[in-house]
Amino acid sequence: MTHLQELENQSVYILREAYKHFDHLAMLWSMGKDSTVLLWLTRKAFFGHVPFPLIHIDTSYKIPAMIEYRDRLVREWRLNLVIGQNKEALAAGMNHTRGRGVCCTALKTDGLKNLLAEKGYTGVILGIRADEESTRAKERYFSPRDKNNEWDFRDQPPELWDQFKTTFPPGTHIRIHPLLDWTEVNVWEYIKLEHIPFMDLYLDRGDGTRFRSLGCAPCTFPIQSSARSVDDIIVELRQTTVAERSGRAQDEGRGMELLRKDGYM
């Protein structure tokens, strides 16, 4: 069995555990490479079906091409898409110039919180990976969030032998992370292997730059790259010593620790 097959089998097992144990289950889909791979794995796990809704937390600052790609896959794969948006904060003019942490918290964390409360989801599947960033390296596959959506990283439940935390007190919910053991290269290798459609924002379209990680337009910056195909990306990533999220402004300083403690993805 290849490493990619090992990863796929483990992720499929986790997705099926999530589906079995959570009546109110949903998956976050940002249209980025990771959550699209996750969506593909879901179709694998359930033999072509996606038996729960997908959530897109729309900050309104996403790159327009992402929304086009989203709507195309929703049609082609017959997905049940739920869009969450913190309309109040947007109406009050929230944007990144008010501080990145403030903006991420309002439009993403709170946007998600509000939607979870409104829909009553108790299980939320996310495509985060341990190698992205150091607080995510400490996550569990099934990670509880308390009544305030907060992550108590000081006291995480034990998780062993593919037995996960699937019971939880009322009012709390569980975040499920099937891609935790995947690396950035693994994600691209899998996209190549399975011919998964992805956005060309990840490729150099002639100006010598590409996006390595996608977020909101004002806070995501392209990297210098001449990668014009998935193969080029894989070769580039095997050589690089630059962190994946170097183009993501929210990671500066202790940004992610504080954001994630409060319920950020």
Partner 1 sequence: MLTTLTKPRESLTIVIVGHVDHGKSTLLGRLYADTKSLPDGKLEKVQAICQQQGKEFEYSFLFDAFLEEQEQGVTIDTARTFFTWDARQYIIIDAPGHREFLKNMISGAARAEAALLVIDALEGVKEQSKKHGYLLSLLGVKQVAVIVNKMDLVGYRQDVFAGIEKEYREFLSRLKVEPERVVPVSARHGDNIASRSARTAWYEGPTVLETLGLFKKETAPTEQPLRFPVQDVYKFDARRIIAGRITAGRLKVGDRLVFSPSNKTANVRTVEAFNLEKPLTEAQAGESVGITLDEQIFVERGEIASSQDTIPLVSTAFRANVFWLGRRPLEQGRKYQLRLATREVACEVAAFHRIMDAVDLDQRQGGTVVHRNNVAELTIRAKAPLAFDPSGAFEATGRFVIVDEYDIAGGGIITELVHDEQEFLRDEARRRDFAWAKGEVGTEERAQQYGHRAAMVLFTGPAHTGKAFLARKLEALLVAEGRHAYLLDADNLRVGLDADLEEKDVAGVAEMIRRYGEVVRVLIDTGLIVVSTTNAFGAAHTQAAQAIMTLVHPAPVVAVHMAKSDDEPPPNTDLAFAGPKDFDAAARQVMDELKRRGVLAHSIGEKPKYQYSI
Binding site for partner 1 (CB under 8 A): 1, 3, 5-6, 8-10, 12-13, 16-17, 19-20, 43-49, 51, 130-131, 134-135, 137-138, 140, 153-154, 156-163, 165, 167-169, 180-181, 183, 189, 194, 235, 238-239, 241-243, 246, 254, 257
Of the pair 169, 206, the CB lying nearest partner 1 is at 169
Question: 3-state SS of the chain?
Answer: CCHHHHHHHHHHHHHHHHHHHCCCEEEECCCCHHHHHHHHHHHHHCCCCCCCCEEEECCCCECHHHHHHHHHHHHHCCCCEEEECCHHHHHCCCCHHHCHHHHHHHHHHHHHHHHHHHHCCCEEECCCCHHHCCCHHHCCCEEEECCCCCCCHHHCCCCECCECCCCCCCCCEEEECCCCCCCHHHHHHHHHHHCCCCCHHHCCCCCCEECCCCCEHHHECCEECCCCCHHHHHHHHHHCCCCHHHHEHHHCCCHHHHHHHCCCC
Of the pair 64, 76, the CB lying nearest partner 1 is at 76
Of the pair 5, 97, the CB lying nearest partner 1 is at 5
CB of 175 to partner 1, least distance (A): 15
CB of 206 to partner 1, least distance (A): 26
Q: Token match 């940002």: residue?
A: 30
CB of 55 to partner 1, least distance (A): 21
Angle at 72 between CA 59 and CA 226, to 5 degrees: 75
Of the pair 20, 75, the CB lying nearest partner 1 is at 20
The alpha carbon of 74 is separated from its chain's Cα centroid by a whole number of angstroms, namely 17
Of the pair 61, 153, the CB lying nearest partner 1 is at 153
CB of 142 to partner 1, least distance (A): 10
CB of 54 to partner 1, least distance (A): 17
Of the pair 14, 201, the CB lying nearest partner 1 is at 14
CB of 27 to partner 1, least distance (A): 16
